[in-house]
Amino acid sequence: MNELQKLKELLLKNELEDFDELKSNFNKLESEFNSSEHIKNIISPVVTTAIKDNIKSSRDDVVDSLYPIIGNMITKYVSRTFEDMINSINNKIRNKLSFKVISRKIRAKVQGISETELLIKESTKAYIKTIFLIEKNSGIVLTTLQNENSKINEPEMVASMLTAIRSFVNDWVDKNEENKELNIIDYGGSKIVIESSTSCYLAAIIDGVVSNDTYRKIEDILSLIVSQYGSKIRDFNGDLESLPIDEFNNMLLPLLSHKEFIEKNEKIHPIIYIFPVVLLLVISYFSYSYIIDRNLEKKANEILFKNSSLTIYRLEVTVENKNIFVNGVVPNAIYKDMAFNDLKELEEVKSIKNNVQVVNLNTPKDIYDKITYLRMALNQKDGNKIEYNYDYPNLKIFGSVISRAERKYVENQFSLVEGLEKINFDIKIVPPNIDESIHFDQNSAEILTNQEYKLINIINLLHKLDDDLVLEIYAFRDFTGTQERNETLVHERAKAVMKYLKLKGNVTQKLVDIGRNEIPKDIDESEYPEQGRKVIFKWKK
């Protein structure tokens, strides 16, 4: 060191020391400025405080700023959740003919909700896929139970990863807060629920919404295992044969079979589709056969009833699978053969079993039964009122019918009754009253459309009656119009009805115009004045 240097140190000693200190401080500042960790530690409290203050003072602005990020995140999560739920519902709907679907329809009716609501409710249930019982200190898997529908390929590896994650998180928690442990891990679309004790912990991989009932069930099972085998698990030395693994499995099994968690995705056997089709075909076949048999039975009974020679005998026909069975009693074989020959005309008949018995029916009691049955059958026709006096061996028939043709038919039917010596007939012809009234518009003689059905009914009746009858047509007026105008109207209305019956109905009876230029006595002027404009019908005596 030369003299100049020594002199500089003596004169500038304090300044050099200050310079070195300044240089050291500068290097330290430069190092801190280039350290991102140091800058983060300095800025983080300031930024955190500033964000908190900003949220308190401008809450709406912060929400608007975060909405695009948080909103998209929530939307994606909700969309994924609903997509999984819809796929689950679609799988259930595709299994339309399964007994599970039928059961769900019944349960929906009983609960008073729609099947869709019940499907959504079922789709949100928890479904336990896998259960691990793990020794707490070593992390060794004591036992594993898996649902048959969702097995894990390497459960030991999953359990090891689970143990590592739990240990790491719990170590971090111990440094910050006391008496806390990891309870739930979100794993994809599933949740891993962890329930711990002093000696072991139980982990369950669950799909769906984990309810309080699920947590309670897991807690109860673990408590049961610890209470019975906790000391053995604490003394565990790594030898699994020293533990009652079968007992553990029996205790854990209810978690997989608990009714809330079961949701099998069974494939439908093809026979389940065949069975309803076969059942439908069987029901259709028997329904079709029943309809065919009843139609044949009706036709066969009508054929026997229309045969005047067989009407008085109570013959009955039954049909089974297109096979006709005829039952009844007749006085001789002629009528039995007659019934058989008449029924042979029916088509689509496989066979005719003629069970008609030939018996002498000419006793007083048998004759009485024939007469009673015949009278009942003839009085089924409109207008027939047949009565009789029976004093064996004589019979008197009296009453009334609507036409000469009907009277002749009645006389012929009673003449067929065998065993009688004398039959007297006193049957009168009494055409039935026509109660229909034809109404008209005011100051009009035109027949209204809504009145034509009445005229059609009258035409059908006249075709059944004798041609020499005389039908009088009475026309009335209402309370309006002049005497002269109403005189013309009543005749025009009567003639309009007569024309309709003759031209459209082609009736053969004589029709007489009785125009009454008067108001019917049973008409109330204040309430129903229009009822006077009508035409009525009466038989000429």
Interatomic CA distance for residues 212 and 134, integer angstroms = 23
Extract the residue ranges of the chain whose pLDDT is less than 50.
258-266
Residues 182-212: b if buried by 16+ CB within 10 A, e if exposed: beebeeeebbbbbbbbebbbbbbbbbbebee
**Domains identified in the chain and CATH numbers:** 56-123 (no CATH), 125-257 (3.30.450.70), 287-358 (3.30.1340), 364-429 (3.30.1340), 438-539 (3.30.1330.60)
Residue tagged 């991102």 (tokens): 36
Cα–Cα nearest to 238, from 307, 141, 380: 141
Residues facing residue 538 across a β-bridge: 472
CA distance 248 to 243: 9
Q: What is the pLDDT of residue 264?
A: 45
Q: Which residues have C-beta within 8 Å of that of residue 448, sequence separation ≥ 6?
A: 439, 440, 441
Q: Which amino acid is at 39?
A: I
pLDDT of 500? 95
How many angstroms separate the CA atoms of 192 and 172, rounded? 19
Q: Which long-range contacts (CB under 8 A, 24 or more apart) does 62-65 make?
A: none
Give yes or no for a contact between 454 and 436, defined as CB atoms under 8 angstroms apart.
yes
Amino acid at 174: D
pLDDT digits (tens, 9 = 90+) for 364-413: 888 898 899 899 999 998 899 999 999 999 999 999 999 999 999 999 99
What is the structure's pLDDT at 428?
95
Give the mean pLDDT of the chain.
Answer: 79
Distance (Å, whole) CA 217 – CA 193: 12
The helix (H) or strand (E) run that includes residue 295 is helix 271-306
Calpha distance 247→230 (Å, rounded)? 13
In sequence order, the β-bridge partners of residue 207 are 127, 190
Q: In what order do the strands lie in the sheet with 316-320?
A: 316-320, 323-330, 351-358
Give the pLDDT confidence score for residue 260 in this predicted structure: 42
* DSSP label of 98: S
d(CA 139, CA 157): 11
Q: Rounded to 5 degrees, what are φ and ψ at 98?
A: -80, 155
Q: Measured between alpha carbons, how far apart are the two ends of the chain, in Å?
A: 173
Residue type, 211: S
Residue 205 belongs to what H/E stretch?
strand 200-207
**223 token code pair:** 């408590």
Q: Over the Cα atoms of the chain, what is R_g?
A: 53
- Which CA distances in Å does 472 have to 251, 430, 491? 101, 16, 13
Cβ(220)–Cβ(153) below 8 Å: no
DSSP codes joined into one string, 363-412: SHHHHHHHHHHHHHHHTTSTT-EEEEEEETTEEEEEEEESSHHHHHHHHH
The pLDDT, as a whole number, for residue 123 is 59
Provide the token pair at 135.
């020794």
115 with 108: CB under 8 angstroms? yes
The beta-strand segments (E) located in 315-371 are: 316-320, 323-330, 351-358
Q: Give the per-residue pLDDT at 265.
A: 46
Rounded Cα distance between 131 and 218, Å, is 10
Sign of the torsion angle spanned by Cα atoms 398, 402, 405, 406: negative
Q: What percent of the chain has pLDDT over 90?
A: 24
Of 472, 481, 492, the C-alpha closest to 519 is 481
Measured between alpha carbons, how far is 209 from 122 in angstroms, rounded to an integer? Answer: 10
